[in-house]
């Protein structure tokens, strides 16, 4: 989302099998994933087990990935978009259907994470990681309980509030604080959200993205919107920080493996998806990507206690009540842009 992945820039990593060949199969699997989002030892293991050479590229945003796939700049066999982008790519016929009979390990996926709203029958996607977005705050600076999205609009915290520099995330926060759906397309509700964000602006220290992590860890800001994976990392760096899921309900995000319609090697793509759903492999990846939650319950049981027992990475079901997944909002993108322009240019 991921918005959420340690600010790693665009990078190309070509990982070859130990003998410097394709293991005799002659097959190549092209993967496009978020930066720093896989334990590279798993690539080596997959190559050794299958004889398939992996060419691994990374992206830093859903939008960058979308443009590259849409324009056919390169051909990929596996990509790992986020929820709303998967829905958009389905709508635009950019994805191939997945044959779940070729992915026996799909049965290892948590039943509650199957059939998501953006892909109701898992025809096009298999979960890779998931998580939440909520509020992170410094318990030394803010001693009152933080329980609501509206805490990000509290005048008592003027000059201490950090907001995410994203129209989608910031408008979603305002909508939820007002008691509306994060995915509302109601113009009156969006107008209320805009006005709330404009009223909030004088209280905001800064609108930041990845750099916001350092701003809060260092103590320059005391409260802000944050994704769970980043929050856990930040809490390790500053033990005074706490992360909460607001009572109105959090955003629940998914990144999932999909097969582009332009794939040149769908068979290898299915093998890789099945490989990543193996509990042992999923556990290795979840331990490497600390804070990002595995969709495989058996994998979670293999993790160190401090990870598998983390309420940030693996919140209880009651904390997810009223949680929402971002939907593709293509029909109102212009409205979102207009709202965000009004907010950022307001005095």
Tokens of 27: 């097959």
CB 170: neighbour CB atoms within 10 A? 24
As a three-state string, the secondary structure of 32-85 is EEECCCCCHHHHHHHHHHHCCEEEEEEECCHHHHHHHHHHCCCCCCEECCEHHH
| Any domain includes 288 | yes
Q: 20: buried, middle or exposed (CB in 10 Å: 19+, 13-18, 0-12)?
A: exposed
Shared domain check, 79 and 26: yes
Residues 171 and 238 in one domain: yes
Say yes or no: 103 and 200 in one domain.
no
Q: Is residue 6 part of a domain?
A: no
83 shares a domain with 114: yes
The verdict on 283 and 339 lying in the same domain is: no
Its domain, for residue 191, covers: 131-251+326-344
From the number of C-beta atoms within 10 Å of its C-beta (0-12, 13-18, 19+), residue 39 rates as middle
Residue 149 belongs to domain with CATH number: 3.40.190.10
Mean pLDDT split into 10-residue runs, the chain, 347 residues: 43 37 71 94 98 95 91 93 95 97 98 94 97 97 97 98 92 97 96 98 93 95 94 94 97 97 97 98 94 95 94 92 90 91 93
pLDDT, residue 330, reads: 80
Shared domain for 246 and 257, answered yes or no, is: no
pLDDT of residue 347: 82
Asked if residue 190 belongs to a domain, the reply is yes
- Considering the domain architecture, whether residues 100 and 208 belong to the same structural domain is answered as no
The total number of structural domains in the chain stands at: 2
Q: Is residue 174, in this structure, part of any structural domain at all?
A: yes
pLDDT of residue 12: 38
d(CA 224, CA 322): 20
Burial grade of 218 (CB within 10 A; 0-12, 13-18, 19 or more): exposed
Q: Is residue 84 part of a domain?
A: yes
Residue 4 lies in a domain: no
- Cβ distance 224 to 233 under 8 Å? no
Strand 28-34 to strand 78-79: parallel, antiparallel, or no bridges (unpaired)? parallel
Tokens 């319609």 label which residue? 261
Same-domain pairing of 242 and 136: yes
Same domain for 50 and 21: yes
- Asked whether residue 41 falls in the same domain as residue 97, the answer is yes
* 3 domain residue, yes or no: no
Q: Which residue's structure tokens are 């109102």?
A: 332
Same domain, 202 and 331: yes
**Tokens of residue 96, six digits:** 């191939």
36 vs 90: CA distance, rounded Å: 26
User: Do the domain assignments include residue 51?
Assistant: yes
Same-domain check for residues 86 and 213: no
Contact between residue 283 and residue 213 where contact means Cβ atoms under 8 Å apart: no
């Amino acid at each position: 989302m991921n918005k959420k992945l340690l600010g790693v820039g665009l990078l190309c990593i070509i990982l070859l099998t130990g003998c410097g060949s394709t293991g005799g199969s002659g097959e190549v699997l092209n993967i496009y994933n978020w930066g720093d989002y896989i334990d590279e030892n798993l690539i080596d293991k997959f190559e050794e087990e299958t004889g398939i050479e992996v060419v691994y590229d990374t992206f830093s945003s859903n939008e960058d990935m979308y443009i590259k796939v849409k324009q056919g700049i390169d051909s990929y066999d596996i990509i790992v978009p986020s929820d709303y982008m998967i829905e958009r790519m389905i709508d635009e016929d950019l994805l191939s259907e997945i044959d779940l009979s070729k992915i026996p390990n799909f049965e290892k996926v948590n039943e509650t994470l199957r059939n998501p709203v953006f892909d109701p029958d898992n025809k096009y996607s298999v979960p890779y990681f998931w998580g939440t977005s909520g509020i992170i705050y410094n318990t030394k600076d803010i001693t009152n309980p933080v329980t609501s999205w509206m805490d990000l609009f509290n005048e008592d915290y003027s000059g201490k509030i950090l907001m995410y520099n994203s129209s989608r995330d910031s408008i979603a926060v305002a909508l939820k604080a007002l008691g509306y759906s994060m995915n509302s397309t109601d113009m009156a509700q969006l107008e209320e959200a805009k006005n709330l964000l404009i009223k909030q602006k004088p209280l905001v220290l800064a609108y930041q993205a990845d750099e916001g992590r350092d701003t809060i860890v260092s103590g320059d800001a005391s409260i802000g919107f944050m994704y769970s994976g980043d929050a856990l990392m930040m809490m390790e760096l500053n033990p005074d920080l706490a992360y909460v899921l607001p009572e109105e309900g959090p955003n629940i995000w998914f990144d999932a493996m999909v097969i582009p319609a332009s794939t040149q090697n769908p068979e290898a793509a299915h093998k890789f998806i099945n490989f990543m759903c193996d509990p042992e492999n999923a556990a290795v990846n979840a331990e490497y990507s600390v804070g990002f939650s595995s969709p495989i319950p058996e994998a979670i049981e293999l993790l160190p206690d401090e990870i598998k027992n983390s309420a940030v990475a693996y919140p209880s079901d009651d904390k997810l009540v009223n949680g929402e997944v971002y939907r593709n909002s293509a029909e109102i993108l212009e409205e979102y842009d207009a709202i965000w322009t009004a907010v950022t240019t307001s005095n």
